Amino acid sequence: MSNSFKPATLCVQGGWQPKKGEPRVLPIYQSTTFKYETSEQMAKLFDLEESGYFYTRLQNPTNDAVASKIAALEGGVAAMLTSSGQAANFFACFNICEAGDHIVSATGIYGGTYNLLSVTLKKLGIECTFIDQDASEEEISKAFRPNTKLLFGEMISNPGVMVLDIEKFAHIAHKHGVPLIVDNTFATPINCRPFEWGADIVTHSTTKYMDGHATAVGGCIVDSGNFDWEAHADKYPGLCQPDESYHGLTYTKTFGKMAYITKATSQLMRDLGSIQSPQNAFLLNLGLETLHLRMPQHCKNALAVAKWLQNCDKVAWVNYPDLEGNKYYELTKKYLPNGSCGVLSFGLKGGRDVSIKFMDSLKLAAIVTHVADARTCVLHPASHTHRQLTDEQLKEAGIAPDLIRFSVGIESADDIIADIEQALNQ
């Protein structure tokens, strides 16, 4: 199927392309193994001489169909599904970093990813320098070292909903001869396609809007195919030098633009696992079929809620990038002209105790740790994810004690606002 179709068409019909007599709907290939007729056929697969399915840890037809839909939506050349967003970000970095290497990343990223980069990768000998994503090009450039292998940021950060100046980031990365990896979870390719602005690799927690129904944890890595690994061959020996575990094959020479994803599959999936189950990939595909309908509704509702909150005298502040006057309003107009996402945050006059009373009084919006699905949900980081911190420590972590994270769903905006209003009156 042609990748030149519009996103709506790719959401519905991308990926699975049945041939004569095959199921119209993507089947769940619930099989660990695949059958061959001769021993030689199988041997060629193990040597990466031919492509084909042999064991679901490496590849599965259901997963591949969904990965190719996401690759088409992002405008990339190849993609792989992972068991979670965390696995996607780990693999995306670890595929081109090893002990002794260095990463530069934006600071205001998802807590799990921050921990991965600052604590867990450090144990593997990979160091990370965190930078303020709003700093100047000169300031951010100071963080780079000769052993820096990538620059990382989130298109719209979770939970701060900061918008990345992606062109600036791409320019900095390329000036230092490294790829830009962008986590596009909150924007989704419906609202922004980072490759069009210079990103080289995109990651997703498909757990959020892509699945959209809070049914399946999953992740995805997409490669634009644009980064020239060979031009920086000394930096990326894993891609540009022979792999002894495959009889001396060199990924860039054998696979060209598919080198990065092929290596991630044939080395990282082989050795570390973390596949998405075909059952979850099937659920993810159902979610993707309506992504183009859900995202505009999330954005429309979130803007209506944000505007209502802004005019409410019990509300101290509102943070939503699409609101005029927001720090990221101009970047939002540039990179996310159709809207950012459904997540916003706000604070109530009266602080922490008032916030808790408010949340407990909500009826429609459920208190859950999840964000970004069809149902409106709410979280108070100071009482939940960051509850061990004092107000002082919260401030240092950039989280106001009264901050309420509100993930606006696709219900009627009138009902969501009415729920907020009745809770504020309690």
Q: Does the protein bind ligand PLP through residue 64 (CB under 6 A)? A: no
Strand 148-154 versus strand 102-106 pairing type: parallel
Nearest 5°: phi and psi at 362?
A: -70, 140
Peptide bond into 159 cis (omega under 30): yes
The nearer residue to ligand PLP, 63 or 205, going by C-beta atoms, is 205
- Measured from the CB atom, the residue of 380 and 405 that comes closer to ligand PLP is 405
Reference 130, options 318, 398, 321, 399; nearest CA is 398
CB of residue 175 vs ligand PLP: minimum separation in angstroms?
25
Query: 412 - beta bridge partners?
Result: none
Beta carbon nearer to ligand PLP, 110 or 144: 110
For residues 30 and 12, what is the distance between their CA atoms, to the nearest angstrom? 22
Contact, 110 vs 154, CB < 8 A?
A: yes
CB of 221 to ligand PLP, least distance (A): 12
Q: Which is nearer to ligand PLP, 105 or 262 (CB)?
A: 105
Nearer to ligand PLP, 60 or 207 (CB): 207
Our CB check for ligand PLP shows the closer of 104 and 424 to be 104
Distance of closest approach, residue 161 Cβ to ligand PLP, in angstroms: 11
E strand intervals along 167-212: 180-183, 201-205
Contacts with ligand PLP, 185-224, as mask; x by CB under 6 A:
x-------------------x-xx--------x-x-----
Q: Smaller CB distance to ligand PLP: residue 84 or 332?
A: 84
Question: Distances in Å between the alpha carbon of 298 and those of 3, 232, 240, 356, 365?
Answer: 26, 41, 43, 25, 14
Query: Can you tell me the distance from the alpha carbon of 384 to that of 266, in angstroms, rounded to the nearest whole number?
Result: 39
Tokens of 113: 């990813």
Binders of ligand PLP among residues 335 to 364 (CB under 6 A) are none
Q: Could you tell me which residues come within 8 angstroms of residue 387 by beta carbon, excluding any fewer than 6 positions away? A: none
**Nearest Cα to 174, choosing from 127, 140, 204, 203?**
140
Q: Figure out which of the listed residues 154, 243, 322, 402 binds ligand PLP, where binding follows CB under 6 A.
A: 154
Shortest gap between Cβ of 370 and ligand PLP (angstroms)? 9
User: In whole angstroms, how close is the CB of 202 to ligand PLP at the nearest point?
Assistant: 12
Phi and psi at residue 65, in whole multiples of 5°? -65, -40
Indicate the residue type of 347: G
Q: How far is the CB of 152 from ligand PLP (least distance, A)?
A: 11
Considering the complex, what minimum distance in angstroms separates the CB of residue 381 from ligand PLP? 14
Q: Which of 61, 75, 76, 85 binds ligand PLP (CB under 6 A)?
A: 85
Span interacting with ligand PLP, options 7-15, 84-92, 169-177, 237-245, rule CB under 6 A: 84-92
- The phi, psi pair for 125, rounded to 5°, reads 90, 10
Residue 378 structure tokens: 């709410």
Judged by CB, which is closer to ligand PLP: 112, or 177? 112
Answer whether 128's CB lies under 8 Å from 105's CB: yes
Query: Taking CB positions, which residue lies at the least distance from ligand PLP?
Result: 85
Place of tokens 């420590």: 393
How many residues form the binding site for ligand PLP (CB under 6 A)? Answer: 15
Contact 43, 66 (CB under 8 A): no
By rule CB under 6 A, what string of x and - marks binding of each residue 112-141 to ligand PLP?
xx----------------------------
Using CB under 6 A as the binding rule, the residues of this chain from 235 to 254 that contact ligand PLP are none
What residues line the site for ligand PLP (CB under 6 A)?
Answer: 84-86, 110, 112-113, 154, 158, 183, 185, 205, 207-208, 217, 219
